[in-house]
């Protein structure tokens, strides 16, 4: 009982802090100049030097179930294979299924091997697409805003997602990032109107956590860049 009370007390304090956060006004979400965007590249050489064959093989073995589930989801939804940022096209059930598998990866491999081998394709893919939204500290907040974002005007969403559907944007990092900024600029007014400022903040965060940044969209470099999605096909 004491542990439960302490847990509730911590949650109450965390919620109080969250409620007191000063959110930006919609007017502050100015359009981003796509010429200013570029992928952030962490020092790959440093990571590669820490990721030996034994560590990499151990970590990769733990990703097999996640990749299998991911491919299964994509096989049921072929339209996902033609978009460079499919996060808001997944259903809630699909996202929770992927997040369960993502959590199992860390239980299986441990945090350190994954951090050492983030340049590996499988690990980059999972971290870039799922690392933020599936984090225990973020998933509830994300899901709350996600459910509103996916209920915004269908015609508007389809129009905005056209920016993400060019084949070159599936394989070229700079093209992906420019497309994501066009997508954000297109979506933000509708999201703000239907869902409010918190949803705009969350949409922006999911894009920047994906690995793209500009001095207007994000204050600090992320240190990752978007990875190729097409090998899930």
- Give the pLDDT mean for 185-204: 93
Most confident of 4-13, 20-29, 209-218: 209-218
The answer on pLDDT for 5 being more than 80 is no
- pLDDT for 147 equals 94
Percent of the chain having pLDDT more than 70?
67
Q: Domain residues for 51?
A: 32-232
Q: pLDDT tens digits for 44-91?
A: 444 445 788 888 888 889 999 999 999 999 888 888 877 888 899 999
3-state secondary structure of 226: coil
Average model confidence (pLDDT) across the chain: 75
What predicted TM-score, i.e. pTM, was given to this entire model? 0.71
- Total structural domains in the chain? 1
Cβ partners under 8 Å of residue 155, min gap 6: none
- pLDDT for 43 equals 44
- Give the pLDDT mean for 24-50: 46
Q: How many helices (H) and strands (E) does the chain have?
A: 10, 2
With respect to residue 7, please indicate whether it lies within any of the assigned structural domains: no
Residues 178 and 159: their CA atoms lie apart, in Å, by: 16
With respect to residue 10, please indicate whether it lies within any of the assigned structural domains: no
User: Which comes out higher in pLDDT, residue 96 or 6?
Assistant: 96
* 80: its two tokens: 């996902």
With respect to residue 202, please indicate whether it lies within any of the assigned structural domains: yes
Q: pLDDT tens digits for 85-127?
A: 889 999 999 999 999 999 999 999 988 888 888 888 888 888 8
- Distances 220 to 40, 137, 212 between C-alpha atoms, Å: 10, 20, 11
- Give the pLDDT mean for 172-197: 88
Q: Please state the length of the chain.
A: 233
With respect to residue 71, please indicate whether it lies within any of the assigned structural domains: yes
With respect to residue 174, please indicate whether it lies within any of the assigned structural domains: yes
Would you say 195 and 145 are in contact if contact means Cβ atoms under 8 Å apart? yes
With respect to residue 125, please indicate whether it lies within any of the assigned structural domains: yes
With respect to residue 215, please indicate whether it lies within any of the assigned structural domains: yes
- pLDDT level of residue 4 (50, 70, 90 thresholds): very low
Would you say 112 and 105 are in contact if contact means Cβ atoms under 8 Å apart? no
With respect to residue 224, please indicate whether it lies within any of the assigned structural domains: yes
Cβ partners under 8 Å of residue 84, min gap 6: 164, 165, 169, 170, 176, 179, 180, 226, 229
């Amino acid at each position: 009982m004491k542990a439960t009370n302490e847990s509730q007390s911590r949650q109450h304090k965390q919620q109080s802090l969250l409620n007191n956060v000063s959110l930006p006004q919609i007017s502050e979400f100015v359009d981003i100049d796509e010429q200013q965007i570029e992928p952030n590249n962490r020092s790959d050489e440093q990571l590669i030097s820490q990721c030996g064959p034994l560590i990499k093989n151990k970590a990769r073995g733990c990703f097999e179930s996640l990749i299998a589930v991911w491919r299964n989801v994509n096989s049921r939804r072929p339209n996902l294979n033609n978009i460079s940022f499919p996060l808001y096209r997944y259903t809630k059930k699909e996202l929770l299924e992927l997040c369960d598998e993502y959590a199992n990866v860390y239980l299986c491999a441990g945090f350190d091997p994954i951090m050492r081998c983030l340049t590996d394709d499988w690990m980059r893919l999972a971290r870039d697409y799922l690392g933020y939204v599936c984090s225990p500290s973020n998933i509830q907040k994300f899901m709350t805003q996600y459910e509103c974002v996916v209920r915004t005007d269908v015609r508007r969403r389809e129009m905005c997602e056209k920016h993400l559907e060019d084949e070159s944007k599936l394989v070229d990092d700079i093209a992906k990032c420019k497309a994501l900024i066009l997508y954000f600029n297109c979506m933000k007014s509708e999201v703000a109107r239907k869902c409010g400022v918190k949803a705009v903040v969350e949409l922006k965060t999911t894009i920047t956590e994906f690995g793209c940044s500009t001095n207007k969209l994000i204050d600090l470099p992320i240190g990752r860049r978007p990875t190729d999605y097409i090998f899930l096909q």
